[in-house]
Amino acid sequence: MMNPQNQAGATLADAIHDTFPNIAAALHRVQACDCSSLASMLQDPTDDMYKNQVEALCRAAESAMDHFINQNANLERRIAELETHLAQAQGTPRTQDSLVTLADELRTLLSARPTELRPESRPRRMMPNPNPFEGDEKDVKKRQQQYVNWRSQVLRTFAVDKSFFVTDFIRIQHIAGLLGGSASKLYRKKFDFIIEHEENQAIWPWQTHTDCLAEMNKQYETLDLTLSASQAFDNLWMGKKPFQNFIADFAALAEECGKTETQKVESLQLKVSQELANEMTHQLVRPARDNFSEWCKMYQTIYDNLLAKDHQDKLRSGRLG
């Protein structure tokens, strides 16, 4: 009697046997997991989003399996030829010249493996995938920031792993795989259309991944974040905050606003606490007006010195008391 795991493999195998015979044959031997639910998914006429993606994956796997099956057949044929030559060599007395000739024939057979049968090495990816972008955040500003960060990671992945993402089809479908929620539903039909017409790029809704992201920009990048950052920057003051906390917010907002190094220094001098501003007036040597990082270091040193002085004053006051 077939156990449940074997039955699971057989169920899916029967569903895809006509289209992917090699994969079906392998699934008949599946014993480790229950994948029978994929069979109903592949036959579901109401939702073909995952069906198209699984079928695209199966086509690639089926092609690879055909490749290795053909490769094995060719290798087996060559082994048979070698065995025939060896049998002839063992059963027939050979002169030295004939042995040399046989050795040359064997060497030719061994080196005659067609290059097209050699499996191509698969490039190894360097960048991890970002978390899927779902587009379900109700706050427009937060949603846009999530999208911008996600898009930046996607483009970085394509740039670093360009030997892996070699075609527009692969790049576009990779974007599809990194969407979820309402964002996936919004563009699902277009991604599916590209899968269905993989060989006819002229009719794709987007010719490149850049076109795809350009359309998504219109949907999810609608606010001027620079203006919003400028308003937040104008309202930022150190006050009684620890300097390291203040400068982290200051640097992030200044970068979003597109401030130059000189503008950062000028704003920093205005926004630090009065204590730091007073202490800075006593510094005889100061960094250049456009050396923002050195100004940050100097203010941090002054802040640390003030904390140390305050601590010493408290200790001295306690001792005197």
What pLDDT digit, counting tens, does each position of 213-228 carry? 999 999 998 887 778 7
Cross-strand partners of 133: 179
Q: How confident is the model at residue 238, as a pLDDT?
A: 95
Mean pLDDT of 249-263: 91
CA atoms of 29 and 266, how far apart (whole Å): 71
Q: How confident is the model at residue 84, as a pLDDT?
A: 74
Q: How confident is the model at residue 67, as a pLDDT?
A: 72
Please give the C-alpha separations between residue 33 and each of 3, 13, 98, in angstroms, as whole numbers: 12, 14, 57
What pLDDT digit, counting tens, does each position of 13-46 carry? 666 666 667 676 666 555 445 555 665 666 665 6
Query: How sure is the predictor about 117, in pLDDT bands with cuts at 50, 70 and 90?
Result: very low
Q: Is the pLDDT of residue 48 over 90?
A: no
User: Under a CB-based contact definition with an 8 Å cutoff, are residues 55 and 42 in contact?
Assistant: yes
Q: How confident is the model at residue 262, as a pLDDT?
A: 94
Mean pLDDT of 126-130: 90
What pLDDT digit, counting tens, does each position of 305-318 carry? 999 998 888 888 77
Query: How sure is the predictor about 1, in pLDDT bands with cuts at 50, 70 and 90?
Result: very low
Sign of the CA dihedral with 298 first, then 304, 305, and 307 last: positive
pLDDT higher for 181 or 47? 181
Mean pLDDT of the chain: 81
How remote is the C-alpha of 284 from its chain's centroid?
50
CA atoms of 216 and 180, how far apart (whole Å): 13
Q: How confident is the model at residue 5, as a pLDDT?
A: 46
Q: How confident is the model at residue 89, as a pLDDT?
A: 65
How remote is the C-alpha of 305 from its chain's centroid?
45
